[in-house]
Chain A
Amino acid sequence: MKKNKALEKIQQRCQALYEDLNLATVRAWKAEAPGRKAIGFMPVYIPREILHAAGILPVGLMGADIEIIRGDAYFQSYICHIPRSTIEMAVNGSLDALDGVIFPSICDVIRNLSGMWKMMFPDKYSKYLDLPQNFTPGLAGEYYIAELRTLAADMERLSGHRITDDALRESIRLYNRNRELVLELYDLRAEKPWQVRTVELYLLLRAGNLLPVEEHNAMLEAYREAIEGEERQALDNSRIVLTGAFCEQPPLGLIHTIERSGCYIVDDDFVLGSRFLTAPIPEEGDPVANIAQTFLDHAMETPFVYIAEKEKGEALVRQCRRRRGEGVIFSAASFCDPALLDQPMVSAAVEREGIPYTEFKYAENTGQFQVIKEQTGTFSDSIKLWGNE
């Protein structure tokens, strides 16, 4: 009973953080000590360790399902939704707690949003972080290290704190632990999906967008402990891997809908920055070089990363096998170039392997889930009925 209360408390905290669109949590953190700075970042991945080592709070921005009043005036109808809500929140003051925003390279929309930010908020820090796309060994290392050193110098200037190697190594250690804890929960969910509900796991990851990593690590550990004492009923659901939702996030209701339609999500790419590096960053040696090299050697194979030699879709098939996925749901945001351009190649690979799949598009403000419920419910039923044929 005690553990249930612990779980309930974590759930409530996560839900409150998810709904904290005005970044009250960030304001409170900044108010605890004078001079503290917070920097937002767009999906998917930035080296948060560098910000942390400068004493800066990295804040993950993932858009929101909010009423758009001014954001639509900046984007044509054929552009995805996340830049609209992001601009909306910026112009309505919701993001005022941020001292700047980093825009990692993921697509042309996020890239151009970085330039819009420079024009619209000239007094705030704004950085386009061009992650290397040439993964041929030895080619991109020096460039990326130089980019990271520039970022580190910017963070030092902004925070007034020098980033020592030791501080950066400590930050690496904390984020390695964070990735480890997240992956353990992903493993546990794949093992017992009835025990770790995706909605809960998703909200835990979203909490990591706002909390200092030390606090988030403690929360992940507490959840793990709390969930192990829970007894939840296993259902006769299908095990599916969901892919395509790495940037603009679906509304929470849509994740609920998929689960309730008879699908256990046993792997996904929600809030992907939390586990984008598939190996820990070495904690000894030159920390900047280690961050760079780990990215080059162990970046996750996703639609926004150029895949040089490997076969397209191989990673998803592997993921599906490892998680004992019985089917794949391609769930991309409307007008998402990386996901939608990738999909024909990856779905062909999945099909070649005899893995069933279905696909739909969403936007972060999708309000009607009935059609999707019918689609994923039918998909789940079809796996149950004919999946082994």
Chain B
Amino acid sequence: MSAQVTRIKPEADQPLPGNEVQKERSMVLQKEMIASHYKALAASAETGCKVVYTFVPGNLNELIGSFDNLLPVHPEINALQNAMRKRTGKMVLEAEKLGHSEDVCAYVKADIGMARSGNIGPSGTRIPDPHLLLLSYTGCFTFLKWFELLREEYNAPVAMLHTPYQGDGIVTDSMRAYMVRQIKEEVIPKLEKVSGRKFDIDKLREMLARSRQAEDDLVAVLESAKNVPSPIDAYFGAVYYIGPIFSAFRGTEAAVEYYRELRKEVEARLAAGQGPVTPEGEMGPERYRLVVEGPPNWTSFRDFWKMFYDEGAVVVASSYAKVGGLYDQGFRHDPEHPLESLADYCFGCYTNLNLPSRVALLSKYVREYQADGFLINSIKSCNSFSAGQLLILREVEQRTGIAGGFVESDLVDPRYFSGANIKTRMESYFQMIEQKRKGAA
């Protein structure tokens, strides 16, 4: 039994040189979900839906969705999708012309650049202005400044949700109570005001129950990479797998269906002993199993991925796939404790963990996923991920005994992706793993 693969021609505005892209059926489903969401956004003025901008880590999608007439927009997803379509270079420059420093986060600059160029989103339709900015300040300081900037841009109200950082690696009762209080007394009243409807906790519970189902299936997908060979790529491939659950679809029927389908596909691949599907089709024999830390580069996403699959390298676990929730470590949204559960979700997002917890998690991944390499893609834009990564590299190497590698790029600023440089480093890194194997033998 083998998974169904559909060959899709690239979109006209997505110049992917050379071959057609191969996509699994679940990817087609996802594409439809995303397209329908952008359409809903474009039609929001007619449908009367109101628009809530919020961030991926610590997003309260079920809460937003429970109002039925609110649509979320995730600015970092717009930025990365624009980057995959090679559009962010101009946007970043546009923001820099307005006085934004070359030193700061390129997601912010791409978003500002997009807003100042008509706010045309990745789908080619206009992203409506926000009626509310839900500032889920979880694991990233830049989020604070980003929404201050957007507030200036759109003159929209802000609902603040400050998620305390797990500095000591724990969540205390007072941290949780603070979060629940903010959700009850700040976030919900502001959502009610924008929506014009009363908050319905039963609707929230229903959505959380659906989230839970999808989360179970997502974890099964991610953990399939423990098998040798792995049927998935848990970094490049996982970018697609996490898309719906990290964004506008968590808690929806569509997400439940998507993850059910995805799990089936992955289990079929596993049963057939197949490796991951890449943009160029089935990956060849699995030669290297890597754990990767840090977000991917989006402007040259396929080129970067190709450097891996051309060498038979599959990513079996990644921290980026946990940036919107650490489901594989047991967290599930809980309809019985809805607001506490939303708080716990925010606490557990990867960048809200302290460095010792991150090192422990990455080392655990190396062992549990039988990895023979640990690679960091260090992102210039993202101090939340990047500050301290050189120590993380050393610690993980020391604790696991595997070879560590380090490359640098950026999220959506194409000036900071040096393909030749990264390729040379990757080739050397694979040689290093080979040497280590020979030494061990």
| A interface residues, Cβ below 8 angstroms from B | 73-76, 78-79, 83, 103, 105-109, 111-116, 118-120, 127-130, 132-134, 136, 138-140, 142-143, 146-147, 150, 303-304, 306-308, 312, 334-338, 340-345, 347-348, 361
Contacts and interface: CB of A to CB of B under 8 A. Distances in A.
A156 B225 CA distance: 48
B154 interface: no
Interface stretch (B49-57, B103-111, B118-126, B274-282): B103-111
A142 B174 contact: yes
A141 B181 CA distance: 11
Contacts, number: 166
Contacts of A120: 391
Given A74-B390, A142-B174, A340-B101, A119 B395 contact: yes
Interface of B: 98-101, 103-105, 108, 135, 137, 140-142, 144-146, 148-149, 152, 158, 160-162, 164-165, 167-168, 172, 174-175, 177-178, 181-182, 185-186, 354-356, 358-359, 378, 380, 383-384, 386-391, 395, 408
Given A74-B390, A116-B388, 7 more contacts: A73-B390, A112-B383, A114-B355, A130-B165, A133-B137, A142-B174, A337-B145
Contacts of A345: 148-149, 152
Nearest to B185: A139
23 contacts: A75-B387, A109-B383, A111-B387, A113-B387, A130-B165, A130-B167, A134-B186, A136-B182, A136-B186, A139-B178, A139-B186, A140-B178, A142-B178, A142-B181, A304-B141, A307-B148, A308-B160, A312-B152, A341-B100, A342-B148, A343-B101, A345-B149, A361-B103
B160 A146 contact: no
Nearest to B384: A108
Given A115-B355, A340-B101, A344-B149, A105 B387 contact: no
Contacts of A138: 185
B145 A341 contact: yes
Contacts of A78: 103, 380, 386
Contact of A136 (B149, B160, B378): B160
A128 B354 CA distance: 9
A129 B164 CA distance: 10
Contacts of B148: 306-307, 312, 342, 345
Given A138-B185, A139-B178, A139-B186, A112 B387 contact: yes
A199 to B, nearest CB: 27
Given A133-B160, A136-B186, A118 B387 contact: no
B167 to A, nearest CB: 3
A348 to B, nearest CB: 8
B141 to A, nearest CB: 5
Nearest to A342: B145
Contacts of A106: 141
B383 A139 contact: no
A113 B185 CA distance: 33
Nearest to B172: A146
A348 B383 CA distance: 26
A345 B152 CA distance: 8
